[in-house]
Amino acid sequence: MKNKFFLFIIISLPLFSCVKTHQQENRITVTIEPQRYFASQLADTFFIVETMVPPGTSPETYDPSPVQLTGLDRSKAYFCIGYIGFEETWIDKLKANHRQVKFFDNSKGVSLIEIDAHAHEGHHHGKTDPHIWSSPREALTIAKNMYEALQEIDPGHAAIYTENYRQLTAQIKETDEKITDILKSSSRKAFVIYHPALSYFARDYGLVQYCIENDGKEPSPEHLKELVETVKNLQIGTIFVQQEFDRKNAEAIARETGCKLVGINPLTYDWNEEMIRIAQALADE
């Protein structure tokens, strides 16, 4: 029996050794896909950039898988977008359980939109609207925060990151200029959207965003009735819907008002193309 016991220990040692913490690799983890777009442009081939919230899922309510939680140890850094539901629930836990990972706040220095219980047609995210990536002008700040983080975690490639940062900021500014030019041709200055993902976009370009969602919940009949009246009175021509949310209320408003229904994805990796496409949809009313 004693010999069998020692044999078991010898055989098991390699298995126990596999339970140790992952070795860090050249990986960065971000919360959402637009961040991955910016980080990938900056990081070049020196880092693999992984997204915590998968495409097609809501960053307000997503819970990471056990594989994601254990795999985070491989990342050298985590880039937070700030204030979004996923991070409000999980970031403190991630920091506590992955102390070797450096966390950076991409929202540092952003001109934030503070909201109250009556803002955005009753929608309420807490105290701060989290959708900062919908603004090309705030995207410049996000890129700057990422660039400074890369300089800190990998100073050996500082010159390359500096050149990539120059190219990325030029691209973001070009996106801003294109959107400005597109919207000059539109006389309508308001739109309807299910979830208020374009708050900063609207602020940048002098637009008004009306939301179907009411305080983060399905709208009441009273809210829908008021929204239909607003659409008719202001002659709003576009209702945006996102793939993460039910379309039925947006479709009902479109039928009653004659608005066009446009599917958008502000959470896509192809950030610049989507921002321009959203502007074009408004200009084409």
- Single out the residue in 153, 177, 201 at which a domain terminates: 177
* Per-residue pLDDT, 116: 67
Q: Percent of the chain at pLDDT above 90?
A: 81
Q: What is the pLDDT of residues 65-84, one digit of tens each?
A: 999 999 999 999 999 999 99
Angle at 30 between CA 201 and CA 211, to 5 degrees: 30
Domain span holding position 141: 18-177
**104 contact partners, CB below 8 Å, separation of at least 6:** 77, 78, 79, 80, 145, 146, 149
Which strands form 48-51's sheet, in the order they lie side by side? Answer: 48-51, 27-30, 77-80, 102-105
- Single out the residue in 114, 148, 177 at which a domain terminates: 177
Model confidence band, residue 57 (pLDDT cutoffs 50, 70, 90)? very high
Q: Are residues 215 and 136 in the same domain?
A: no
| Type of residue found at 72 | L
CB 147 within 8 A of CB 24: no
What is the CATH classification number for the domain harbouring 230?
3.40.50.1980
- Tell me the H-state helices in 110-205: 119-122, 136-153, 158-184, 199-204
Is 268 domain-assigned?
yes
Distance CA 285, CA 273 (A): 19
Check residue 72 and report its DSSP letter.
Answer: G
Check residue 22 and report its DSSP letter.
Answer: P
Q: Are residues 39 and 80 in the same domain?
A: yes
pTM (predicted TM-score)? 0.87
Residue bearing tokens 């983890």? 29
Distance CA 243, CA 245 (A): 6
Is 5 domain-assigned?
no
Distance CA 50, CA 253 (A): 38
Q: Are residues 153 and 277 in the same domain?
A: no
Report how far apart, in Å, the C-alpha atoms of 277 and of each of 164, 177, 178 are.
25, 14, 10
**In the predicted structure, residue 55 carries a pLDDT above the cut 60:** yes
Count of domains observed in the chain = 2
Cα 89 to chain centroid distance, Å, stands at 15
Give me the chain's average pLDDT, please: 89
> CB burial class (10 A; 0-12, 13-18, 19+) of residue 3?
exposed
Higher pLDDT, residue 116 or 210: 210
Report residue 224 as tokens: 């829908």
Q: What is the pLDDT of residues 179-202, one digit of tens each?
A: 999 999 888 899 999 999 999 999
Q: What is the pLDDT of residues 80-130, one digit of tens each?
A: 999 999 999 999 999 999 999 999 999 999 999 998 644 444 343 458 999
Rounded to a whole number of angstroms, the distance between the first and last alpha carbons of the chain is: 82
